[in-house]
Amino acid sequence: MNKPVFKTTSGRKPAQPSYAVDFEASEFVFREDDLGTEMYIVQEGKVEILKEIQGESKQLAVLEKGDFFGEMAILEDLPRTASARALTPLKVLMINGSTFDQMLRSNPEVAVRMMRKLSRRLRETDRMLREALGRADQPVVEMPAAQESRRTASPERLVHLKSGIEFFLSLGPETTIGRKDPVTGIHPDIDLTPVDTQRSISRRHSKVHRRGERFFLIEEIGTMNGTFVNGTRIETGVPTEVRSGDEVRCGLVSLVFHSE
């Protein structure tokens, strides 16, 4: 059996564990089947992830500041499964295996998002297997009715103090708060991207749980920059009741909770 021939990445070889690299628009950071030994975190600009499917290049995701990609090369030591190309002038932090562990320790949100990304891939694989076996009618994650309830707004809302923009809670038992995450493909029920100009909010920052007529705020694992109720930081994973008129701060974004 012939051994696979691995392509090498671009000529940029790190002389140290991590450093910033610039790419021009339309320049490839790496290509599918390259042998990868680094992962990347976007510092400036946008990058698209491309996959060759039946001879055509398909865009899988568009990533921007704070997003990461290429981590599978470090985890599995295998060739790249997709290509990454700069959509705009791009600056990324290139990280090799020697600093990977240190990065996860200093920034737990990256580790949590990475696990969510892998979990989503597993769920998608499970769905495809069910379809192949003729069992697509069986739920993989949650019932369609639960998904539909989360897409419907309720009267309860969070109001951004500076702009007055209203973010309505879902009618379901929980409402996720954060920013849309192209890395994992997860979109929160309340996306605070428009008002988080300093990107202080984690992708999955917190949740509001509905318990009858009462509401409880819970900070997600791996959240950076904290979650506050009336100026007091809440403990990760511990429900804190919020009442109408309470100030809720996620990172640097201040909101007021209204339940009527």
Q: Which amino acid is at 177?
A: I
d(CA 225, CA 3): 48
pLDDT in tens, the chain (260 residues): 333 333 334 444 444 556 899 999 999 999 998 877 788 989 999 999 999 888 888 888 899 888 888 887 777 667 888 899 999 999 998 887 667 767 666 666 667 777 777 767 666 656 666 776 765 455 444 433 333 334 455 789 999 999 999 999 998 899 999 998 776 677 899 999 999 999 899 888 999 999 889 999 999 877 889 999 999 999 888 899 999 999 999 999 999 999 97
For 73, phi and psi rounded to 5 degrees? -65, -35
CB 184 within 8 A of CB 120: yes
**Confidence at residue 98, expressed as pLDDT on a 0 to 100 scale:** 64
Domains of the chain (ranges, CATH numbers): 18-106 (2.60.120.10), 144-258 (2.60.200.20)
What pTM was computed for the model? 0.50
At 166 the pLDDT is 95
Element spanning 39, H or E: strand 38-44
